[in-house]
Structure 1
Amino acid sequence: MSRQSNRTADNRKVSSELLTLTYGAFVSQLLKDYESDESVNKQLDTMGYNIGIRIVEDYLARTSVRRCGDLRETADKIVKDGFKHYLGVAPTIQGMTHNEFSLVLDSNPLTEFVELPQSHANLQFSNIICGALRGALEAVHLQIDAQFVQDTLRGDPATEIRVKFIKRIEETLPPGED
């Protein structure tokens, strides 16, 4: 007869730690494969972009979110809720204007066990998040730019990502698809 443990694992915590450790190993491998921090940053952004396109489809299928009317509504519904749903943290939205806002994370789950070495001063360790934001919002027809303004890995008190609206992407059909 086997013993049953009285402990119950918090699946969300286990998943978060697994994501953090796996992501760290992934970035470490990219640093070995590419010559510069800028090349790694670009790869992380591209991968995040591809993830964002797919994540927004999953998010929209699981929720009853309707088309957003403006950037503020998009930030509240898709971005803020999406972060909470997929990363387990809810960012604070600050500095909202008609065409930009900041997402402030008190804690970034991707950097939980990370120390950034001085030899990689230009590495944007969590750049996959900026790419995911670009991909997700482009999938809902908003072209944006997302950049880190502050990062706890660099000694800042919080992680801040500035999101700037560039333009609304018009829906078009491929040639010959009328």
Structure 2
Amino acid sequence: MAKQYKTLGEEIWKNRVETISAELFIFTYGSLVTQLVKDYEDYDQVNAHLEKMGYNIGVRLIEDFLARSGWGRCTDFRETMEVVSKIGFKMFLNITPTVTHWSADSKACSLILDENPLNDFVELPPEAQHKLWYSNALCGVLRGALEMVQMQVEAKFTSCVLRGDDISEIQVKFVRHLQEEVPDPDD
């Protein structure tokens, strides 16, 4: 089944996605992070703001994902994460994270990003190296997109190559299924 997801993700990337220059996207994101650091001067606030921005993007991105992929409802959290990894990430970032480290109850896993285009051309200054989660917007995108399909999750980076770690890893934990609700206007 995972191969089917990967094939669909690759087909959508090649045939159905309008792309922009990767460098333009990467530099724009980098400029945004730089401005947030200047504005807040507190890495915890920058991390929170990046996650919140990502959440707002994810809330809107899910509609594009569903329209372009034609994907229906997933049966469980495990299938959802495979679809997110092999189709969603491929559609929007042209990468395919590995889904691994499943908990015994299949309610938590990790996405291992062998590559992360947001990290290209980036070197964190020493004072930010152990405080800033540079790609934290991705955690917000996951949370926002999955919330729109009635799945409340927690997503957080646990390691990042920009911080000197060997891998970049996002831990995703399923919290609960949501009822049809209107999103919180504060998010």
TM over 0.5: yes
User: Of residues 114, 118, 122 in structure 1, which corresponds to 2:122?
Assistant: 114
Shift of 1:154: 1.2
Aligned-partner Cα distance in 2 for 1:84–1:15 = 16
Q: Which residue of 1 aligns with 2:149?
A: 140
Aligned-partner Cα distance in 1 for 2:60–2:117 = 20
Aligned-partner Cα distance in 2 for 1:168–1:150 = 27
User: Of residues 66, 80, 83 in structure 1, which corresponds to 2:89?
Assistant: 83
Tell me the SS of whatever aligns to 2:21: helix
TM-score normalised over the length of structure 2: 0.82
TM-score normalised over the length of structure 1: 0.86
AA aligned to 2:40 is: Y
Tell me the SS of whatever aligns to 1:124: coil
1:98-140 C-alpha deviation (Å, 9 max, x unpaired): 1011100111100111111111231111000000000000011
User: Of residues 168, 176, 179 in structure 2, which corresponds to 1:159?
Assistant: 168
AA aligned to 1:52 is: G
1:92 aligns with 2:98: yes
Please say if residues 85 and 98 of structure 2, whose CA atoms lie closer than 8 Å, have aligned partners that are also in contact: no
Q: Which residue of 1 aligns with 2:56?
A: 50
Aligned-partner Cα distance in 2 for 1:137–1:85 = 16
Q: Which residue of 2 aligns with 1:8?
A: none
Question: More displaced, 162-171 or 78-87?
Answer: 78-87
Aligned positions of 1:58-73 closer than 5 A: 58-73=64-79
Q: Which residue of 1 aligns with 2:8?
A: none
Tell me the SS of whatever aligns to 1:61: helix
Shift of 1:77: 1.5
Distance 1:27-1:172 versus aligned 2 partners, 3 A rule: closer
User: Of residues 29, 34, 53 in structure 2, which corresponds to 1:28?
Assistant: 34
- Say how many residue pairs are matched: 162
Query: What is the root-mean-square deviation of aligned Cα atoms in Å?
Result: 1.6
Specify every segment of 5 or more residues in structure 2 that has no aligned partner in the other structure, as ranges.
1-17, 183-187
Distance 1:71-1:25 versus aligned 2 partners, 3 A rule: same
Aligned-partner Cα distance in 2 for 1:172–1:105 = 32
Shift of 1:172: 4.8
Aligned-partner Cα distance in 2 for 1:172–1:17 = 37
1:171 aligns with 2:177: no
Aligned-partner Cα distance in 1 for 2:72–2:115 = 29
